[in-house]
């Protein structure tokens, strides 16, 4: 990722279902349970095997109570596939057989009479038996969906609801927050916790880890605003330039150099080293190395002109660029002879969503870079 890879991310992501639970302090809790001994460290450190319990009966009532034992919070027979994890033991009215439990994602906590539970994971449904945040094996990194033909379902944590089929979203990159080992009928598979954007909404869930491949996607269909380093090679960058509805000006500029092929590496150099840019809330990105290229000719006056005239029509901009190229000695005839050069170009042309302010508002952004150069 680039130094500004958070360009499209809103700061301060809310804690979502499935994220690492936060164990709060106990001093302020009002409770009618006494002689409480906390054992939450095992849950916080994902030592689930040591503290796993499930309902002795899925047909009889077995209530989980609040801290004051004044309200029934949950009935275990309503959650027949749940495994519950012990957080503490305590005494209520002289009876010491009470334990505090929570579910896997720590969304349902409370106290239950322990004889209503038996130790171990539930044998029903799909059970998350391990969770790991270890990088890079189980968390972090950039991934994409391997196949557009094989189903890659995104599930909720209980594995009871399909949230999306990621084979339909191979044009997105995925970052794993953690992974869980799901066991079902004696078979176990690792699932990665990821987010997918569908109709501008973020959906979080678990996908079979084997459905993902390391690295960025090369499919950019439907993606209209991408950063210079969101691409893998020149081939997928060209796909974006040809398909994006916001790359009309770029396509027109490319035609001014009919025999100078676009190159991704040179385009990244154009974007980071020689461009005009108003998309950054803070400092602009750092320059990148030009290793592998020589005889670079930056058209800085073109970049400056485009930024100064960002609200003009594409036809007006194109005419202005042609005039500046002619003045620089790069006439139509000369440009046609640049067969031993490659073209570096990155254009973000007054596009709403190209800039996101600190409050998360979508604003118009502009980024203009144009150079030519040779490969070493």
pLDDT of residue 276: 96
By DSSP bridging, strand 117-119 and strand 174-176 are: unpaired
Residue 9 above 80 pLDDT?
no
Q: How far apart are CA 115 and CA 117, in angstroms?
A: 5
For the stretch 91-133, pLDDT in tens is 999 999 999 999 999 999 999 999 999 999 999 999 999 999 9
pLDDT (mean) for 143-167: 97
- Is pLDDT larger for residue 284 or for residue 86? 86
pLDDT of residue 175: 97
Cα radius of gyration rounded to whole Å, the chain: 28
- Is pLDDT larger for residue 26 or for residue 219? 219
Residue 10 above 80 pLDDT?
no
Question: What are phi and psi for residue 320, nearest 5 degrees?
Answer: -65, -40
For the stretch 220-255, pLDDT in tens is 999 989 999 999 999 999 999 999 999 999 999 999
Q: How far apart are CA 304 and CA 253, in angstroms?
A: 15
For the stretch 327-371, pLDDT in tens is 999 999 999 999 999 999 999 999 988 888 878 888 899 999 999
pLDDT of residue 27: 53
pLDDT of residue 19: 39
pLDDT of residue 288: 97
**Axis crossing angle, helix 234-243 with helix 264-273, rounded to the nearest 10:** 70
For the stretch 251-305, pLDDT in tens is 999 999 999 999 999 999 999 999 999 998 777 789 999 999 999 999 999 999 9
pLDDT of residue 280: 81
pLDDT (mean) for 10-35: 55
Predicted TM-score of the model (pTM): 0.83
Question: What are phi and psi for residue 169, nearest 5 degrees?
Answer: -135, 45
pLDDT-derived band of residue 22, with 50, 70 and 90 as boundaries? very low
Mean pLDDT of the chain: 92
Rounded (5°) CA angle 327-328-333: 85
Residue 24 above 60 pLDDT?
no
The rounded percent of the chain whose pLDDT value lies above 70 is: 93
pLDDT (mean) for 36-47: 92
- Mean pLDDT check: name the lowest of 24-28, 178-182, 310-314, 326-330: 24-28
Scored b (16 or more CB within 10 A) or e, 54-83 reads bbeebeeebbbbebeeeeeebebeebebbb
For the stretch 93-104, pLDDT in tens is 999 999 999 999
């Amino acid at each position: 990722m680039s130094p500004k890879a958070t360009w499209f991310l809103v700061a301060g992501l809310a804690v979502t279902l499935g994220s690492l639970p936060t164990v709060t302090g106990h001093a302020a809790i009002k409770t009618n349970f006494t002689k409480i001994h906390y054992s939450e460290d095992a849950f916080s450190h994902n030592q689930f095997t040591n503290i796993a319990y499930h309902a002795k009966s899925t047909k009889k009532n077995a209530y989980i109570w609040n801290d004051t034992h004044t309200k029934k919070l949950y009935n275990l027979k309503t959650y027949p596939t749940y495994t519950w994890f012990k957080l503490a033991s305590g005494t209520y009215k002289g009876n010491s057989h009470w334990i505090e439990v929570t579910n896997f994602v720590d969304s349902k906590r409370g106290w239950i009479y322990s004889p209503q539970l038996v130790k171990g994971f539930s044998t029903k449904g799909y059970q998350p038996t391990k969770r790991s945040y270890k990088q890079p094996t189980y968390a972090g990194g950039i991934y994409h969906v391997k196949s557009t033909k094989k189903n890659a379902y995104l599930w909720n944590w209980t594995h009871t609801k399909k949230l999306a089929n990621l084979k339909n979203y191979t044009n997105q990159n995925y970052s794993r927050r953690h992974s869980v080992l799901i066991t079902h009928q004696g078979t176990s598979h690792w699932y990665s916790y990821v987010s997918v954007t569908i109709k501008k909404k973020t959906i979080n869930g678990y996908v079979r880890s084997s459905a993902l491949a390391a690295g960025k996607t090369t499919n950019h269909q439907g993606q209209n605003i991408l950063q210079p380093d969101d691409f893998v090679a020149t081939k997928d960058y060209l796909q974006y330039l040809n398909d994006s509805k916001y790359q009309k000006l770029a396509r027109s500029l490319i035609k001014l150099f009919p025999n100078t092929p676009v190159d991704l590496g040179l385009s990244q150099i154009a974007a980071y080293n020689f461009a005009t840019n108003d998309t950054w809330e803070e400092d602009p990105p750092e320059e990148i190395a030009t290793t592998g290229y020589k005889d670079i000719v930056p058209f800085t006056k073109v970049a400056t002109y485009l930024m100064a005239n960002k609200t003009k029509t594409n036809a007006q901009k194109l005419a202005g660029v042609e005039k500046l190229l002619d003045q620089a000695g790069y006439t139509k005839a000369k440009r046609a002879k640049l067969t031993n050069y490659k073209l570096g170009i990155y254009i973000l042309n007054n596009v709403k969503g190209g800039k996101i302010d600190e409050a998360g508002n979508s604003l118009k952004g502009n980024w203009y870079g144009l150079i030519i150069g040779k490969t070493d």
